[in-house]
Amino acid sequence: MTPVIELDNLSIQFGGRPILDHLNGAIKGRAIGLLGPNGAGKTTLIHVLLGFHAPSSGTARIFGRDIKTDAKQIRSQIGFMPERDSFIANMTCVHFVRLMAELSGLPSEAALERAHEALFYVGLGEARYRQLGSYSLGMKQLAKLAQAIVHGPKLIILDEPTNGLDPPARTRMIELIRDIRDSGQAHIMLSSHLLHDVEECCEEILILKQGRIAAHHDLEAERKANRKFIELETRGDQAAFTEAVEKLGCECAVTSKQRMKLILDEQVEIRDLYQIAHQNELQIRGLNFKRDSLEDIFLKAME
């Protein structure tokens, strides 16, 4: 399968200072989270992928197309929701989204039809004839999402899509992003400083630090790999239970009289633990799967 984005020794400098420093990697997930502290190079990477800045050295490919030689074809396949507003204040929303669709290559009539569809999809159907200058912050964010998806792109880049939103508006935006992801019609790259948003939406994460890749994780694979690491809360004879579990090839560490941690062997299932507990007259009062949270991964990358 062709990766969504390939970074091939990608570097960029401004004023002789490296902003992106020899980035390498292949990103394949349906929803990609782009993380990093302020100044890490997230926005610059997005702008390079969009063709706003030319690489100083190296290159990148999107769906196999080189950003240096196939910029026009790449732009037709990408939708971009910028962090900062870029509206014409006295233009109605439907005409703005139509204009964006036409700039993305759609004929005028098709662009208007798709603009209506996109605005109803994001929930602005009733307000589509209002001027953008009269919109609230939440409505402006939805309008930016509508113009990013109106031409049916294969990759949608979202830069801080929940920035400044109140809880109901944020929930609505996350639901829309997940709906787009689950439809399978487009890949998503989500840049955000809110780890919770990324964890809710993304399957793969790329963490930048000082212009370099600090971490690249497949969250889905890690969740599956960590499925066998569990914590138990027990009542009864831990010694006999621990001995029986270790005979099955599991690693076991008793942390207190009532708690223990286990790493299960591939052949051992949860039901086996309950059977061994019953045989040794031990009660399992609590069982939790443990895995690194996105916050844990991020903090490790920053160390």
Q: Is residue 298 part of a domain?
A: no
Predicted local distance difference test score (pLDDT) of residue 290: 64
Same domain membership, residue 172 and residue 147: no
Is the pLDDT score of 226 beyond 60?
A: no
Q: Is residue 170 part of a domain?
A: yes
Same domain membership, residue 133 and residue 92: yes
Predicted local distance difference test score (pLDDT) of residue 288: 80
Q: Is residue 238 part of a domain?
A: yes
Q: Average pLDDT in the 94-105 region?
A: 95
Q: Is residue 297 part of a domain?
A: no
For the segment 155-181, what is each residue's pLDDT rounded down to a tens digit?
999 999 998 899 999 999 999 999 999
Predicted local distance difference test score (pLDDT) of residue 292: 63
Predicted local distance difference test score (pLDDT) of residue 287: 84
Residue 86: which H helix or E strand, with range?
none
The single-letter code of the amino acid at 170 is R
Is the pLDDT score of 11 beyond 90?
A: yes
Residues 6+ apart with CB under 8 A from 72: none
Predicted local distance difference test score (pLDDT) of residue 286: 87
Is the pLDDT score of 113 beyond 80?
A: yes
Strand partners, 235: 283
For the segment 265-298, what is each residue's pLDDT rounded down to a tens digit?
778 888 888 999 999 888 998 888 766 667 777 7
For residue 224, name the pLDDT band (cuts at 50, 70, 90).
low
Residue-averaged pLDDT of the chain: 89
Predicted local distance difference test score (pLDDT) of residue 29: 86
Same domain membership, residue 186 and residue 45: yes
Q: Is residue 284 part of a domain?
A: yes
Same domain membership, residue 238 and residue 179: no
Q: Is residue 161 part of a domain?
A: yes
Q: Among 39-43, 166-170, 200-204, 255-259, whose mean pLDDT is lowest?
A: 255-259
Same domain membership, residue 263 and residue 165: no
Residues 6+ apart with CB under 8 A from 84: none
Same domain membership, residue 144 and residue 234: no
Predicted local distance difference test score (pLDDT) of residue 299: 78
Distances (CA, A) of 239 to 234, 235, 244, 252, 264: 12, 11, 9, 11, 17
Predicted local distance difference test score (pLDDT) of residue 291: 61
Same domain membership, residue 195 and residue 163: yes
Predicted local distance difference test score (pLDDT) of residue 129: 97
Domain of residue 70 covers 1-77+154-210
Predicted local distance difference test score (pLDDT) of residue 117: 97
Domains in the chain, number? 3
**CATH number, domain containing residue 188:** 3.40.50.300
Percent of the chain with pLDDT over 70: 96
Same domain membership, residue 171 and residue 43: yes
> Residue length, the chain?
303
Same domain membership, residue 147 and residue 158: no
Of the residues 164, 181, 210, the one at which a domain ends: 210
Same domain membership, residue 174 and residue 134: no
Q: Is residue 300 part of a domain?
A: no
Three-state DSSP state, 204: strand
Predicted local distance difference test score (pLDDT) of residue 171: 93
**CATH number, domain containing residue 229:** 3.30.70
The rounded distance, in Å, linking the Cα atoms of 184 and 108 is 27
Largest CA distance in the chain: 76
Q: Average pLDDT in the 55-66 region?
A: 94
Predicted local distance difference test score (pLDDT) of residue 300: 77
Same domain membership, residue 141 and residue 8: no
Same domain membership, residue 72 and residue 16: yes
Predicted local distance difference test score (pLDDT) of residue 191: 94
Q: Is residue 69 part of a domain?
A: yes
Which comes out higher in pLDDT, residue 270 or 6?
6
Predicted local distance difference test score (pLDDT) of residue 256: 81
